[in-house]
Structure 1
Amino acid sequence: MVSVDDLVGKLCLLALNNKEKVEAKEWRLLGQEQDGSLLFAWLESGEEGDCTNLGLFSYADNSLKMLHTFEEPTNVVQASINFDRTIMGFVTKNPDEDNEGCFVYTPTLLKLTDSENVLCPMHIERSKQIMIQFLHKKHSVLNEKQTDKFLLLIHEECVLQYKLKPLAKEFNIESFLAESLLRVFIWAQWDAVHQTLYYIHYRKPIKSLVEGDDPDPTTLHKVSPTLSGLQFHEDLPHESVLNIPLNLPHLTTTVCNLYEDDTVPLRIHNCSLDLMVLTDSSGIVCICHHYLYQPVQPAKNLEDDDDSPVHFAYSVTVLHQSCVLHCVIPGIPWKEAKTIRPLFKLYDDHMMVFIPGVCTQLLDISMIHEPSNHITTHPLLPEYEISKTCLTPLIKCGKYSVLNLTTLDVIDLHVPTTQLIETFKSETTLDNKLAILHYLLVHQGEMDVAIELISSQVEKPVSLGFPQMLKEFLLGSAYASVQRNLPCDASQLINLLPVSSQPVGCDVETEINGKIVSLSQDALWNASMMLLSPQQRIVPYRVDLWVKLWEILVKNTKGKQRFKPSQVVEKLLVSLVCYQPEALSRSSTPMSPGSSLSLSTTADLSTMKSQSDALPFYETESCTASKQEHIISVNLRELSMHLLKQSTENKMSRFQWQSQTPMHVHAVATRYIAAQLEQSRLLCQILCKAATYDARYEHDKGFVFIDQLPEEKRYILYVVLERYYLAAEAIAFPLPLGFTSFFTFLGYRTLRFNIFLQYVLRHVFELQIDVMKIIMADIDDSKIGIQRKLKLLSLLPRSRAKRLMNQWNHPISLMLRAREHAMNILSGVEGQNSRGQGLQKSKNQLGLAAFPSADRLSPLDTFLDLLTAKASLADLDFGLLIEATVTSTEDFLD
C-alpha cells in the first residue's frame, strides 16, 4: 500500500495554533529552497475577514514559520527566500483589466524584520510569466563579503540577476544592481540543489568547416532550439556549462499565454512545452520531454471533450549514457490524454516514469551499464483520479517522496516488490520479465525473490523464453556476486564484466491494461562536445556535477568494451572437438582441487555446505579431466586477456581508469569464474527442487533416483534440465560435476532411443564411462539391443569403447576385440597386449586342432602362422582368437 501523508492537515494545525473560530484554507505551494524548506501561501478566514499568509515550512522538523500577512486576499503564485531568511521575493498574478482572459504578473521584494516587514515593489508588470529565485550561499555568517543575489525570469524576454549593494542603507529597488544574463528564452528551470539555471533558446546552427565558403541559402535564417545551462557559484561569476541542440518537433511557435505556475521545480514554460531536467550529484543528467500528437495527417483541431485517439509520448535524453529513450503509447482519448501529467523522478539507479491511469515504468539509466532493461508495470495510486493527480518530486523530504500539487499530499511513491512479482507472473512480454529479473539481481540484490520467480516458471518449462530467463539469472547473479566481493582497488574492472543477456538499444513492446507501451533507443553523437571541459572551467578541475558528467562521457567515448560470453562460446566450438577426457591430464585452474584459489575462497562456505546434498546426483566424475574444468580454463584465459587488454588501453588519460595491475586482473577474473560455477550450481539446485527433487525427503540420488521417478515427473525434470543445459551452454557457464552423466541417463530414460541417439550425435548427451556402463547393462542382448549397443560404442572415443568392450560379456564383443587384436598385430603395433579372458563356456577350450583337416591346415592355422610371423608368441592372445573364431560360426543373433 502506498504511504500518503496529509500535508494540509499538518499545516492547518501548525497555522491555527489553537486559534478559535479561524479557518486556514486554499493552501498553495510557492516554492522549495535548497535546504528542502517549502514556501506556502494560504487564506485565513476569521471574524475580522479574510487575509493571505506566507509561511516557511520545514518538513523534516514539522515546523511552520509565519513570514508575512496581507490584510486582504492576495493571489501569490510563487516566492523565494534568501539563505539568511531576511529577504523574500514573491510574484502575484491578477487579471488584466485591459485584456479579458489575460493575467498580469508582478514581482515584489519583502524585507523580513522582527518588528514590521518592508515591501519593495520592483515596478515590473508583464502579461508573460515571471518567476523570482534567490541564489543560496553556504557561509554567509563566516564570510560577510557575500551579498544576496536573486534571479528574475521573464518569459520570452530576459533573465536578470539582481545583487544587493554592499553599502545600501535603505531597502528599495535602487539598492540592487541589475545585470542581464540572457535575452529571449522559451523555457527555463531552476535546479535548487546544484544552483543551475537551464533554459531553451533559439540559436543558429554552428557552421561546419567542411561545408565550404558558400552556405546553403535555405539555412541562413534557420534556427534550432538549444538547451543551455548556467552554473552559479557563491563567490565566482556564473558560467555556461551546457549547450545541447534539441529536437522538439511538437513545439508550437504560436503565442500561448496559458501558463502552468510550476513552482517545484521552478519552471517557466508555455502550454506547448512540458519539459523537465533531472540531475544527481553523481553525474546523472536526464532531460525529460512529454508531448501528445496525432498519428493521422493532417491533424485536426480537437475539442476539450473529443474522444479522438492520440499518441501519448515522451523522450528521456540520458546525457551520461549518450542516448535518448523514446516511449509511445497510442490510442488514448484526447479528453483523457490532455489531463495526464507524467511524473519523472530519479529512483535509485533507475528513473521512475509514472503515467496516471496508464502504467508505471522503471527506466534503467544507471552508470553501472548501458540502458537495456526497462520495466513496465501497472499504474500506482489507483485511488487517485487522473485529473487530480499532478505529482512532482521533492528534495530532502524522503527518498521516494513526491507531492501531489492538487491535494498537497506527500506520497511515498515506490514500486513494491509484490507488484513486480505479480507483473512477472502475468502474461507480460519476455523483455519485461528479463528486466524484472535483472532489476532484482543486479540493482536490488533480492536473490530470494529472483529464485521465487525462476521457480514459478518451472510450471511451464516449454515456453520459448524460459532458457533466456535462465541466462539472465546466471549472468545477473554472477555479476552481483562479484560486485559484493570485489576489492576496492579493482572496482574499475567490474565495468568490463557481463551484466545482462539483453542487447543494448533494442525496441521493446509491452501490453499493460490493454494499452501497448513501446520503448525505443537512439544514440547521441559525441555528447561530451556539448559540455564545458574541466580545463575550460572558471576553476579548472573543480569537482562538481559537470566535471563528473564530463569524465563519464569521456570514458564512454574512449570505448570500454564489456566481455561477451560469445567469445568463450566460439573458442569452445573449436576446442571441444578435440576434447578427450581420458587423454587429458588434470587441469590447473583456480577452481581445481588443491589450488590456492579454490572455489571455497570466493564462495560462501556455509552456503556451499548447506547445499552439498541438495542436488539429485553425485558431484563426482570418473574421467581424468572433466568438461567443467575445460570450460573454466577457457573462460579464465579469455576473460583475463580481455581485462588486461582493456585496462591497458584505458589508463592513458587523466580521466580514464587508474592503471590496473595483473594482480587486479587475476583477482577479478578468478572471482568471476568462481561466481559462474557457484551460480550455475545454485540454479541447477533451484530447478531440480522446483521440478521434483527435495533433499529433505529424497534418500536416493543419481541413476537410482531417475529409475524411481514416475514417468510424468521424469519428463518434467528432463525438460527443465534441458533448458538449463541450453542456457548454460549459450553463455559458456560451467555445469556442476556429475550433471553430464545424470542428464544423459535422464534423457535415455525419457526419450525414444532414436531421439536419444540424435542428442548424442549433436553432443548434447555425453556418453561418459559411468553412464555407458549402466546403459550397456540396461539394454538386452536381443538383435535390436545388440545393434543399439554397437551404435553407441561406435560413437565413443577408442579408449573408452575398448574399456566397455572388455566388460561386455557377449560374442560380438569377443569377435570385435579379436579383430582389433589381429589388426594391431598385422599393422605393426608393438607392445604387450593384455590377455582377454573370452567367454566363460562350460565346454572345454579349443586349441590349435580346431577345424582339423587330413589334407591341409585349417584357415585358422594359416592365419595364426601369419600372425606369428608379425609378432612374438608372447604378444598373441591365442585364446581370444580361437574362441572368437568358434563363436563366429554360431547364430547368436536369433
Structure 2
Amino acid sequence: MALRLVAEFDLWKDVFPWLRVQRAASASAGTPGGGADVLENNYESLRVLNIERNGNVIYTYKHLYTFEKDLQVVSCSVNSERTLLAASLVQSSKEGRKNELQPGSKCLTLLVEIHPINNVKVLKAVDSYIWVQFLYPHVDSHPLPENHLLLISEEKYIEQFHIQVIQEDGNRVVIKNSGHLPRDRVAEDFVWAQWDMSEQRLYYIDLKKSRSTLKCIQFCADENFNLMFEAPLDIPLSDSVFKLVNFGCDDIQDQDKSSKYPMLCIFTNHTGSLCVCYSPKFDSWEQIMYTVFYFHKGHSKTFTAALGSADSHVTKGITFLNLDYYVAVYLPGHFFHLLNIQHPDLICHSLFLTGNNEVIDMLPHSPLQSLSGSLVLNWCSGKLYRAFLNQSYLLQFLWNTRLDCEKIAVLHCVLSCGQDPQFLEAKIIQWISENVSACHSFDLIQEFIIASSYWSIYSETSDIDKLLPCSSVLTWNAEIPGITLATEEITLPLMKVHSFKGYWEKLNCNLEYVKYSKPQLHYNNCMVRREWHSLISEEKTGKRRSNVYVRNILDNAIKVISNLEARNLVSEPRLTPLFQEEDNHQRLLLGLMVSELKDHLLRHLQGVEKKKIEQMVLDYISKLLDLICQILETSWKKHNLHPRVLHFNRQASAAEFAVFHIMTRILEATNSLFLPLPPGFHTLHTILGVHCLPLHSLLHYIDNGVLLLTETAVIRLMKDLDNTEKNEKLKFSIIVRLPPVIGQKICRLWDHPMSSNIISRNHVKRLLQNYKKQPQSSMIDKSSFSIEFLPLNYFIATLTDIESSNQALYTFEGHDNVDAKFVEEAALKHTTMLLGL
C-alpha cells in the first residue's frame, strides 16, 4: 500500500506479556487477586492514555491508582523527570464503563508525587471533564526546578499550573508549597483545541460574533508562553461544539459515530507550512467534502470526492495524517488521497486513489490519530506507528498507472521521500526509458530532471522552494477522475510576535512571500538564453567581447564538470562518450547558467554564506547534467551499445535507433527550458543521426536544429567515409551547412574538387565583400592565361589585382595556397566534374 505503517509500540505485544508474567508471579506467590485468568477477563481495560514528547507511552490496566472501584482514568500525564503524575478520573457505571457526559458527573483531578512516595494533591473536583498535560521543555541534563501543567476544562478554559519541586532525604522529590500552586489563565471561551506534543504548541479556536478565529500559543523553556498568531477561519462552528485533539485518548464521543461530527486538525512541518484540515459532518452518502487551508500559501482548496453508488454508506469519519511534505486523507474502503502541501498550487502534484483499491483496503478501518511529525496512534488497538510513504508500492504504481495526473503525482511522491535517492532515481530512469512517449500532458524527461534536481538541494535551505521550480508544469487543466476542486484566497494569519526563531521564522517568511512576492521568484533561463545567443552571434562576426569575461564563463563550466566528477568518484566509469571534447558552446551555456543562478540566489537568499550558495549552484547544475548522463547511460546499457558506434563506416542497428530516439527526446526536453547538455552530447547525437536517418531526413533534422553539427563529428565523418558517390553527396550536404569558421577548417581535410570549390567560394566572398570596381583597360593580357575563357579570365584578373593591392589583408587565413590561381584551378575542376569530362 502507498502508506507504510511501522509499529514503534504495540500495547498487546509490549505490555500484555509482561502483565501476564507479573500476574503469574503474583498467583504463585499467593497474592490475593492474582492469576492469569483475571488478566484475561479484564483485558479491555488495558488501553493507551497518552504519549509524551520524549516518547513515553502512558497506559492503564484496570486502575493506575486505586482510590475507588468506580473511578476510571480519563486523562493522564507524567513530567519529564517522572517524578510527578497528573491524572483526571471520573465515576464509572456498574458495568465498568463510564457514563456518557451528563450534568452531575464527578471529575477528580489529582497531582501525585511518585518518586519515591505517593503524596496526593487534589487540583480540581468539578462536575465537568478535565484533561491534563505536562509541558516538556527541551531535554536538559539536570532536573528542572519548576514543572508546568496544563489543565483543559470542558468549561472551555485552559489553565497552566506552576509546580516547584525540591529534593529531600537524598532523591526523594516533593512538591514545594503544595497548598498554593501559582497558575495562569492561558485561554478561555474556546470551542476546539489541539496539542502539538513535539513542538509544545497549543492551537485553539474561539468564537466572536459567530466568527471562528484560530490562535496559537507557543510554550518555551526560557519563558512563559506567547500568543504567536491569529487567523480567521471560515468554517461553521457553534458554541455547542467542544472538541480536543491529541490531549490523550478522547473516547467521550462514540468513535462509530465520528462521521456525524465535523473533523478538524492542524499540521505543520519544519519548512514553515501551516495547514488546517477540515471535514464537515456528512450530509450525503454519494460524495464527501473536505477543505485544506494552506495558510503558508494564502489559499484554501475544497475537495469533493465521489463515493460511487448511493448505497456506499459511510460509517467512519475522514482521517487526516501528517506525512511531512504530504497530508494523507482517507476514508476507509472509499478513497485515499496524498495532498502535496509543499506545492499545492497544481492538483496534479497530489495523488488521488479511489474505489476498491488494495491500498485503501489494507489501511486500518479503526480511527487513527495523527500525532506530531509522522507518528500515528490507533487508540483502539493500542499501536503507535511511524508512517512513511511506501517507495516500493509507489514505484510499482508508477509502472502500472495510465493516467498522466497519477504519473506526475507519484513521480513527485517518490522523489520527495528522500530515502536512498540514487536507488530511486535509477528505478525512475528505468521506467522513463520504457515509457518515454507515454505521457501526453507533460514532458516526462523534463519533469524528472527539474524535480530531481530541485529535491537534491532542497535540504540546504527551506527558501529554495520559492527560488527554484520543482516542476516543469506551469498549468494543469485536465480533470482528475472522481475529484472536483474549488480554490479560494484566504486571509493570512496575523503574527502577534515580532521576534521569530525556528519554525516561526520560516512561517513568517512564507507569509511575507505570499504578501509581497508576485510574480513568483522562480529562476528561469531567459537571461541565459539571451546572453548565450549574444555570445554565439559575436563569435560568428568575430567581435566577441573581452577575453576576460569569456574566460570567467568557461571557468564556471570547468567548476561544474569538476564538481560532477567529484560526485561520481565511487560510481562506475561511464560507457557513453561524453565529456571527451571541448564543445565550447555547451561550456558557455553551462558557465552562463552558473553565473545567472548564483546571482539570482544571492539576491534573494539573505543571510546565507556566499560559499554555500556557490556550492548549491554547482551541485544543482551538476545534478542536471548527471541526470541527463544517467538517462543516456541506462539506455546505452540496455541496448548493449559498443564504442564502435562512433565510427561512420558501418550500418545502423535497432539499438542505435532506440538510443537516437531517447537522445532526441532529451534534446527536446532541454531545449524548451534552455538547459545545458553534457559536452559531447551533440557529437554523439549527430553520429547516431547519420547512422540511422536517410539523407533527406538527416538534412531536415539539421536544418530544423534537431541535430547540431559539431566540429568533432564532422571531422570524424570526413576521415571515416571514402569518396563514393553517396558519401560525396553526404559530405557536401554537411559542409555547406557548417558555420563558416568550422567549414573553412573542415574543407581542408577533404581532398576533393568539391572541397576546393567551397574553399574558393569562401575566398572569393572574402575578397569581394568590400570590393569597389575601378576603371580597367578593356584589353586583357591573354598570354598570362592557359585557358581562353573570357569570363573566367576576367574574373581571375580582378582577383589577382585585389590580392596584389592588399595581400596582407586578403590572404586566406591558415591556407597559404589559396589565391587567384587556386580559384581558377578549382573552377575548372568543378566545371569538368559537372560536365562529366
State if a TM-score over 0.5 links the two structures.
Answer: yes
Q: What is the correspondence of 1:26-425 to structure 2 with a 5 Å cutoff?
A: 26-27=44-45, 28-42=47-61, 53-55=62-64, 67-68=65-66, 70-72=68-70, 76-80=73-77, 84-92=83-91, 103-104=102-103, 105-110=105-110, 112=112, 124-125=126-127, 130-136=129-135, 146=146, 149-154=149-154, 157-159=155-157, 161=159, 183-204=188-209, 223-231=210-218, 238-248=225-235, 251=236, 263-264=247-248, 271-279=260-268, 283-291=272-280, 308-311=285-288, 313-332=289-308, 336=312, 338-365=314-341, 373-375=349-351, 388-394=365-371, 400-425=374-399
Cα distance between partner residues in 2 of 1:883 and 1:261: 91
1:12 aligns with 2:28: no
- One-letter amino acid of the structure 1 residue matched with residue 702 of structure 2: V
Mapped to 1, the partners of 2:222 and 2:740 lie a distance apart of 83
Q: Deviations over 1:6-59 (max 9, x none)?
A: 4135433344522313132223444344444444455xxxxxxxxxx223xxxx
Q: Which residue pairs with 2:681 in the alignment? A: 739
Once the two structures are TM-superposed, the CA of residue 263 in structure 1 deviates from its matched residue by 4.9
Q: Given the superposition, is the C-alpha separation of residues 183 and 817 from structure 1 closer, same or farther in structure 2, using an over 3 Å criterion?
A: closer
State the SS of the aligned residue for 1:197: strand
Residue of 497, 511, 522 corresponding to 1:562: 522
Name the SS of the counterpart of 2:66 in structure 1: strand
Q: Is the 8 A contact 2:72 2:89 kept in 1?
A: no
Q: SS where residue 275 of structure 1 aligns? A: strand
Is 1:449 matched up with 2:424? yes
CA distance, structure 2, for counterparts of residue 448 and residue 141 of structure 1: 44
Q: Which residue of 1 aligns with 2:31?
A: none
For the structure 1 residues 324 and 604, does the alpha-carbon distance in structure 2 shift closer, same or farther, using more than 3 Å as the test?
Answer: farther
Q: CA RMSD in A?
A: 5.0
**Which residue of the partner structure matches residue 703 of structure 1?**
647
**Equivalent residue for 2:446?**
471
Distance 1:462 1:619, change over 3 A: same
Offset of 1:750 from its aligned partner?
2.5
- SS of residue paired to 1:737: coil
In structure 2, do the counterparts of structure 1 residues 119 and 611 end up closer, same or farther at CA, with 3 Å as the change threshold? closer
Q: Deviations over 1:759-811 (max 9, x none)?
A: 222222122344345667869776x9877665544432234334445555555
Q: Which amino acid aligns with 1:415?
A: L
What letter is aligned with 2:89?
Answer: F
Distance, in Å, in 1 between the alignment partners of 2:216 and 2:251 is 14
Shift of 1:745: 2.9
Q: Confirm or deny: 8 A CA contact 2:328 2:337 kept in the other structure.
A: yes
1:881: which partner in 2? 824
**Residues 859-885 of structure 1 deviation map (CA, whole Å, 9 limit, x = unaligned):** 555555555554449985436515634
Letter in 1 for 2:135: H
User: Post-superposition shift, 1:639?
Assistant: 1.9
Q: Provide the rounded CA distance (Å) in 2 between the counterparts of 1:517 and 1:176.
A: 54
List alignment gaps of at least 5 residues for structure 1. 43-52, 56-66, 205-222, 295-301, 303-307, 536-540, 648-656, 831-845, 852-856
Please give the per-residue CA displacement for 1:604-642, whole angstroms capped at 9, x wherever unaligned.
Answer: 448258555510x36444x7x622112113212322332
Query: Is 2:507 the counterpart of 1:533?
Result: no
Q: Is the 8 A contact 2:78 2:86 kept in 1?
A: yes
Q: Distance in 1 between matches of 2:211 and 2:86?
A: 39
**Shift in Å at residue 371 of structure 1?**
11
| 1:425-450 residue CA offsets vs partner (Å, 9 max, x unmatched) | 12254454344444544651512221
Q: Counterparts in 2 of 1:463-502, with a 5 A limit?
A: 463-464=438-439, 468-479=443-454, 498-502=468-472
Q: Give the secondary-structure state (helix, strand or coil) at the position aligned to 1:240.
A: strand
Go from structure 1 to structure 2 and tell me whether the alpha carbon gap of 1:188 and 1:254 turns closer, same or farther (over 3 Å shift). closer
**Per-residue deviation, 1:723:** 0.8
Aligned to 1:686: 634
Aligned to 2:698: 756
Structure 2 SS opposite 1:26: helix
Say whether residues 1:630 and 2:588 are aligned partners: yes
CA distance in 2, matches of 1:463, 1:499: 23
For the Cα contact (< 8 Å) 1:440–1:447, is it kept in 2?
no
Deviation at 1:277, TM superposition (A): 2.1
User: In 2, Cα distance between the equivalents of 1:121 and 1:554?
Assistant: 44
Indicate if the aligned counterparts of 1:461 and 1:720 stay in contact, CA closer than 8 A. Answer: yes
CA distance, structure 1, for counterparts of residue 768 and residue 477 of structure 2 = 67
**What TM-score, normalized to structure 2?**
0.75
Call closer, same or farther: CA 1:848–1:565 in 2, change over 3 Å.
closer
1:724 Cα deviation after fit: 0.9
Question: Post-superposition shift, 1:421?
Answer: 0.7
Contact conserved, 1:276 with 1:289, CA < 8 A, in 2? yes
In structure 1, C-alpha distance between the alignment counterparts of 2:93 and 2:246, rounded to whole Å: 17
Match of 1:598 in 2: 559
* Rounded Cα–Cα distance in structure 2 between residues aligned with 1:820 and 1:283: 64
Q: Is the 8 A contact 1:372 1:504 kept in 2?
A: no
How far apart, CA to CA, are the structure 2 residues paired with 1:337 and 1:203?
A: 36
8 Å contact kept, 2:657–2:692: yes
Deviation at 1:284, TM superposition (A): 4.8
Distance (whole Å) between structure 2 residues aligned to residue 755 and residue 178 of structure 1: 84
Which of 848, 853, 866 is residue 785 of structure 2 equivalent to?
A: 848
Gaps of 5+ in 2: 25-33, 166-173, 773-782, 808-817
Indicate how the Cα distance of structure 1 residues 367 and 254 shifts in structure 2: closer, same or farther if over 3 A, else same: closer
SS at match of 1:598: helix
Q: Which amino acid aligns with 1:658?
A: G
Relative distance call for 1:504 and 1:775 in structure 2 (3 A) is: closer
Whole-angstrom CA distance in 2 between matches of 1:867 and 1:119? 115
How far apart, CA to CA, are the structure 1 residues paired with 2:826 and 2:383?
A: 96
Aligned-pair distance for 1:755? 3.2
CA gap of 1:870–1:101, structure 2 versus 1, over 3 A, is closer
Amino-acid identity (%)? 17
Q: Is the 8 A contact 1:369 1:499 kept in 2?
A: no
TM-score, normalization by structure 1: 0.71
Q: Distance in 2 between matches of 1:279 and 1:606?
A: 34
| Relative contact order higher in (CA < 8 Å, ≥ 6 apart) | 2
Higher helix share: 2
Per the alignment, residue 743 of structure 2 pairs with 801
CA distance in 2, matches of 1:499, 1:107: 55
- What is the CA–CA distance in structure 1 between the aligned matches of 2:677 and 2:374, rounded to whole Å? 41
Rounded Cα–Cα distance in structure 1 between residues aligned with 2:634 and 2:244? 54
Deviation at 1:273, TM superposition (A): 1.9
Structure 2 residue identity aligned to 1:161: E
Q: 1:589 touches 1:633 (CA, 8 Å); kept in 2? A: no
Cα distance, 1:12–1:463 mapped onto 2, change above 3 Å: closer
